[in-house]
Amino acid sequence: MISEEVSKSLILDEQSTIRNCMIYSELKNAPVYGRRVTMKDTAVREKWYPVWQGKMGEWFFYENSAGTGNNLGVLVYPIYQMDLVSLKQEQIGFAKLEIYMERLFAPATEDGSSFRTAVFDEELQCRYRTEGVEETEALACLEEIEKSGRDEESVRIINGQMVCVRNLETCGLKFLLFFGTDGMEQKHREVNSTIIPLILLVMGIDSIGCYLFAGMFSRRVTILVNKFKRVETGDFSATEPISGNDELKVLDDQFTHMLETINALIRENYVQELEKKETELQNLQLQINPHFLYNTLETISSIAAVRQAFTVCDLCGRLGEIFRYSLGKDYGEFVTVEQELHHVENYVFIQKVRYGDKFEVFYHIEPEVRQCMILRFILQPVVENAILHGIAPMTGNGTLKISVGRQGEILYVKVEDDGIGMDSTRKSELEEYISRPENSREEKGSIGVRNVHRRVRLACGDRYGVSIESRPYRGSGFLITFPLRRKGDEECTD
């Protein structure tokens, strides 16, 4: 029963490295004999017993019956019986395990070109060595390694061969592994014969690639340099793109973007200069012999007074004030809200004479903004647009509301009518038209509103200008915003 359990536990029938495992009993009153178990008296008569010397848990070695050298390793452990009452233990025997050393290291000796092994105990006695390993040579290598004081598990070259030491402290053994260099030299030669041509091939391909890349890069740099030279001559149309996706491509894209921005600024400045010159020309044309116009109006007014046509007298007076205000002889670019409103009142008076009771005008002016500054001649075009395109086409009467106030640092003017209004499509077209930066000559019927929007933006910045609200048959509202500028300020404060 015990023999079967031992065999099953260690799988002895399948272990080629285990020579034998025996259990020896010291219980004389219960003798037991079997294949894997016997009495201690039997062990005394066996060959290993004198070599053992009673050392438990330590490896020792002896020759097997074939006499081929120290090729059996033995490990003996005691067996105890525990008294569960007194908690004392008593040795009742011991177990012995025998190992074939040459079979244990069989993988190392199957191929003589791999490595060889030598095993030493703590007393530096050679307990096993593979064929071809001299004991004195192996011992000399071990002593040299121990004297060096370096890590014993490192690999060293001794006498033309690599030597590696491994310590098994639990077993009290030292293993020396000897590796021949013949195979390594052969592998080295094979690697050289393969790697060196491959390296040369890679270097050749790399050189060709570098040459092609350098040529391509040089061509791209040349294109960029030529762009710089064209820009130096004043040609800002050099926008030929450079291929690739590297830093040079990014630099070219940024340079092209800069050229496009400069071109846009030049065109915008050019358009502004043209518009400015056209305005100056118009002003010059309007200023041709202004005294003749004023004298003519005075003559008409006098004749009307004689004939008691007082409405004509008022029209001539209001028209004369409009002429003076539009010519700007006594005004600057900016005027007060009060001055601008007086001009609008003159214009509304003339329109009411024309349309009769067609519309009424209401003013809602916050007192604190009357002395604030706005652009001269900026409201009349918007009021004119509301009358002509909002109220005039109506079948009935309409109203016009003009509001001026402030919100924080914003001055606003709102012109509202209850005329025919606009649908969303017409409103979008008008917003796109008045915001168009180009100097468009296309007539849209609201060129006055467009000029107002552009004048405000040119003078005060893109944050300000005209915005539109409108619904069909519910009227329209035009909101003009300015930076708040009080009388005496130098310029618009954005």
pLDDT digits (tens, 9 = 90+) for 358-378: 899 999 999 999 999 999 889
Distance between CA 258 and CA 264 in Å, rounded?
10
pLDDT at 91 over 80: yes
pLDDT at 379 over 90: yes
pLDDT at 252 over 90: no
What are residue 121's DSSP bridge partners? Answer: 173
Distance between CA 447 and CA 208 in Å, rounded?
66
383 touches 347 (CB < 8 A): yes
What tens digit of pLDDT does each residue of 8-48 get? 555 555 556 788 888 888 888 888 888 888 888 888 888 88
* pLDDT at res. 97: 87
Q: How far is CA 395 from the centre of its chain?
A: 63
Mean pLDDT, residues 452-474? 90
Structural domain spans, the chain: 2-104, 106-180, 334-483
Q: Share the mean pLDDT of the chain.
A: 79
Grouping H, G, I as helix, E, B as strand and the rest as coil, residue 61 is strand
Q: Which two tokens stand for residue 458?
A: 């040119």
Q: Considering the entire predicted model, what is its pTM? A: 0.44
* pLDDT at res. 254: 82
Higher pLDDT, 98 or 188: 98
- Residues 6+ away with beta carbon under 8 Å from 299: none
Return the H-helix or E-strand segment holding 127: strand 126-129
At 1, is the pLDDT very low, low, confident or very high (cuts 50, 70, 90)? low
Contacts 24+ apart (CB under 8 A), 38-46: 40/93, 40/94, 43/96
344 touches 384 (CB < 8 A): no
Return the H-helix or E-strand segment holding 173: strand 173-179
283 touches 327 (CB < 8 A): yes
Look at phi and psi of residue 11 and say left if phi exceeds 0, alpha if psi is from -120 to 50, else beta: left
Grouping H, G, I as helix, E, B as strand and the rest as coil, residue 203 is helix
Mean pLDDT, residues 455-470? 90
* pLDDT at res. 405: 94
Q: Which two tokens stand for residue 195?
A: 């790697």
What tens digit of pLDDT does each residue of 403-452 get? 999 999 999 999 999 999 999 999 899 888 888 765 555 555 577 888 89
At 106, is the pLDDT very low, low, confident or very high (cuts 50, 70, 90)? low
Range of weakest confidence among 164-168, 182-186, 233-237, 387-391:
182-186
Return the H-helix or E-strand segment holding 373: strand 373-375
Mean pLDDT, residues 112-121? 70
What are residue 175's DSSP bridge partners? Answer: 119, 166
Contacts 24+ apart (CB under 8 A), 55-61: 56/94, 58/172, 59/121, 59/127, 59/171, 59/172, 59/173, 61/101, 61/121, 61/127, 61/128
% of the chain exceeding 70 in pLDDT = 81
pLDDT at 94 over 80: yes
* pLDDT at res. 374: 92
CATH number of 334-483: 3.30.565.10
Measured in residues, the chain has a length of 494
- Residues 6+ away with beta carbon under 8 Å from 321: 342, 343, 346
- What is the fold, at CATH topology level, of the domain defined by 106-180? Beta-Lactamase (3.30.450)
At 109, is the pLDDT very low, low, confident or very high (cuts 50, 70, 90)? very low
Taking CA atoms, 488 is separated from 150, 384, 491, in Å, by: 93, 30, 9
* pLDDT at res. 181: 65
pLDDT at 325 over 90: no
- Kindly calculate the radius of gyration of the chain based on its CA atoms and give it in whole angstroms: 57
Range of weakest confidence among 86-95, 288-297, 435-444:
435-444
Range of weakest confidence among 200-204, 252-256, 398-402:
252-256
347 touches 341 (CB < 8 A): no
DSSP letters spanning 458-483: HHH-TT-EEEEEEETTTEEEEEEEEE
pLDDT at 149 over 70: no
C-alpha torsion angle, residues 407, 410, 413, 417 (rounded to 10): -60
Mean pLDDT, residues 331-340? 87
**Nearest CA-CA partner of 386 in 367, 364, 368, 359:** 359
Higher pLDDT, 322 or 188: 322
